[in-house]
Amino acid sequence: MDAAQTIRDAVARVQALRLETQSKPALLAATSAVKHFQAQRFAGAYADLLQSQEYGSAAQFFLVELYSDKDYSQRDLQFARIARGLQTFFPGQVVATAVALAELHILSEELDHQMALVWMQTETDSAVETDNVERYITAWNTVGRVEDRNRQLEMVLRMGAEIDHLTRTPGLRLMLRMMRRPANAMGLGSLQSFLEAGFDTFASMSGKESRATEFLQTIRTRESQWFARLFSTDRLACVSELRACLAAATTPALTPVLSAQPITNGQ
């Protein structure tokens, strides 16, 4: 299957899940709750990086573009519209990044959808916890899919590495800048913003390859630790650690980060 078809298929599957979700108000609310909870968990787990000079932009890019509860439907439609053009006009590395994002997106949506179904059930089943931390742990373990969780993490890291590699492609930044006006005119502004934000985020670490590698390794280590906690049989410890993580996400210093728009350099 070629890249364009892979992207279109992924977008179609995501849209089907969204239509199902939007047709059921309780499921829509549960899906939003799961996504918001996960964004808060990421913000707490990476509070130090989000506030750091060296890694703040990279951590914010991951939070806003990959882990947040924002609506990605506009970007998805743009991905589908430009899928064939990606193969025609962009270097193979850009196409590979777009495919990686599409594949990551559908896997994440499927996992979130299954989590939301369990979350919704806990709201109507008096025998199950109603506290959000307890509810999230229950949903996580009910869904399971350990291999897919690990695959999801590997896809995130692979996409980060690919974006980092793009920053060393001669002329690509100039190409992206030149595409800004035509992209906006064609209704592809959301996709253009994502590409520029990713490029500029990792370009800020250009010439410092070890810094980008260290950032991605930190994501690998911390996410793997969280997977182990959430799948652990020591539920009390997991609840305690998760509450502490969420508390870190609500510190005053992080409030601007959590409400921030996708980052671009605005040039």
User: Is 108 within 8 Å of 116 (Cβ atoms)?
Assistant: no
140 lies in a domain?
Answer: yes
Global model pTM greater than 0.85:
no
81 lies in a domain?
Answer: yes
Separation CA 256–CA 248 (nearest Å): 14
Written as one letter, the residue type at 151 is R
- Please state, in angstroms and as integers, the Cα–Cα distance from residue 139 to each residue in 31, 68, 124, 158, 164, following that order: 12, 18, 14, 27, 34
38 lies in a domain?
Answer: yes
Q: Inform me whether the pLDDT recorded for 160 exceeds 60.
A: yes
Average pLDDT over residues 142-163: 91
The model's confidence at residue 166, banded by pLDDT at 50, 70 and 90, is: confident
264 lies in a domain?
Answer: no
Residue 209 confidence (pLDDT):
56
C-alpha dihedral sign at 234, 235, 236, 237: positive
262 lies in a domain?
Answer: no
* Total count of domains within the chain: 1
Residue 100 confidence (pLDDT):
82
Q: Inform me whether the pLDDT recorded for 58 exceeds 50.
A: yes
Residue 40 confidence (pLDDT):
92
- Please state, in angstroms and as integers, the Cα–Cα distance from residue 259 to each residue in 72, 86, 222, following that order: 16, 31, 23
Beta strand spans in the chain (E): none
- Residue 194 has φ and ψ, to the nearest 5°, of -65, -45
Residue 12: which domain range? 3-257
Tokens of 145: 């899919």
Residue 101 confidence (pLDDT):
80
* pLDDT 10s digits, 71-129: 667 667 666 666 666 666 666 777 777 788 888 888 999 999 999 999 998 866 655 55
Say which DSSP state 67 is in: I
Tally of CA atoms within 13 A in the half-sphere of 199 that contains its CB: 23
Q: Inform me whether the pLDDT recorded for 245 exceeds 60.
A: yes
Nearest to 91 by CA among 183, 171, 185: 171
94 lies in a domain?
Answer: yes
22 lies in a domain?
Answer: yes
70 lies in a domain?
Answer: yes
Q: Which of 2-16, 33-47, 229-243 has the lowest average pLDDT?
A: 2-16
Q: Inform me whether the pLDDT recorded for 198 exceeds 80.
A: no
Separation CA 100–CA 115 (nearest Å): 22
Please give the mean pLDDT across all residues of the chain. 80
Residue 131 confidence (pLDDT):
86
Q: Which residues contact 190 (CB under 8 A, 6 or more apart)?
A: 74, 75, 78
